[in-house]
Amino acid sequence: MTTVLASNVLANGLRTEFADTYIKTRQTLANSRLGQVMDLNVGATNRQHEFAYFESAPHMEYWQRGDTVPTKAFDSVQWTVPVYEFARRIPWSKFDRKDDQTQSLMDAARQAGASAGLLPERIFFNLITGNTDTLPAVPNAPDGAAMFSSATRFGAASGNLLTATAGNTAATILADYYAAMEQFRLFQDGEGQPLLGEDVLAFTCEATGNLLTAKNHSYVDDDEVFIFEIPGETLPTGLARGLYFVITPSGDDFTVESTLGGGAVSISADGAGYIAKVVKKTLDEGDAFTFEIGDLDIYED
């Protein structure tokens, strides 16, 4: 835990307020979504630590009985992580305490504790945005390449660095989200095999019957889905990137409509694309979400 240095006068006050707030904030972080993507409990005993991980397991290879069984060891990646220390000295005068007519000195101590507790979150967002507000430099990925790069990464020509669409409307955010999913569909493991998620399916479509075909889908009537392009392929004529509703699913086949009850979209030319089910989140009592200052506008309809 962070060591708090203070004068004897404040030892029973400011230090306690700082430390209590720091601990509560860290506990909240550990139970948050940040704890799912960042290990917040790795101890540090040296100036730097060595880490390693195994890459993808080798895939099966054709073997002719009587021949030597093909052998391939696990590949691994090793990297070094420097240990950084963080500190802040806050000078104060004895007159500050005497002149604290608003009794805000304790509040300031709690704010400092919250700031220290939120340091992992600030570091995380600095990493994904490429900023160095908290770190001397943005580290490279474990394999030595830039953490985010538009060069070929994970077998994908455009890497893992995408440019967002200008604007902050629901439509542009949704388009950017699915553009990222589309890019992830191109990623490959260390054996050159695709890293495909089950939430996004490839579909084909023949103009006859306006039917879309997606193997082993689980769509039911009125499921809302998002359709978008496969790189190098053309969407069926009649469909465009956007939201649709599933109707008349049967086996691997189904049709889609633009609005509920609007009838099947007419397809005039064959094509293929990706499709993903849209799962909406219902806000329940106790759910929490945040907006940056200036990001939420409320209008009377």
pLDDT in tens, 50-107: 988 888 888 888 899 999 999 988 888 898 988 888 888 877 776 766 666 677 778 8
The pLDDT tens digits for 221-268 are 999 998 988 777 899 999 998 899 999 999 999 999 999 999 999 999
* Tally of CB atoms within 10 A around 47: 9
- Asked whether the predicted pLDDT for residue 179 surpasses 70, the reply is yes
In this structure, the dihedral spanned by the alpha carbons of residues 162, 168, 173 and 179, taken in order and rounded to 10 degrees, is -30
Bridge-partner residues for 224, per DSSP? 245
pLDDT band at 213 (very low <50, low <70, confident <90, very high): very high
What pLDDT is recorded for position 4? 44
The predicted model gives 193-215 an average pLDDT of 80
User: Who has greater pLDDT, 170 or 296?
Assistant: 170
**More confidently predicted of 236 and 287:** 236
Rounded alpha-carbon distances, angstroms, from residue 271 to 206, 212, 243:
7, 9, 17
Contacts of 220 (CB under 8 A, 6+ apart): 246, 249
Q: How far apart are the first and last CA of the chain?
A: 50
What is the per-residue pLDDT for 12? 60
* Token pair belonging to 148: 């985010």
Residue with the bigger pLDDT between 298 and 42: it is 42
> What pLDDT does residue 284 have?
67
Average pLDDT over residues 274-282: 79
- Regarding predicted confidence, which is higher, 1 or 230? 230
What's the mean pLDDT when you consider all of the chain? 81
8 Å CB contact between 37 and 29: no
E strands, the chain, are: 48-54, 76-82, 200-206, 211-213, 224-228, 242-250, 253-257, 271-277
pTM of the predicted structure, to 2 decimals: 0.56
Give residue 77's Cα distance to chain centre: 22
pLDDT at 285: 67
What is the pLDDT, as a whole number, of residue 209? 86
Q: Which of 166-170, 191-195, 213-217, 261-265 comes out lowest in average pLDDT?
A: 191-195
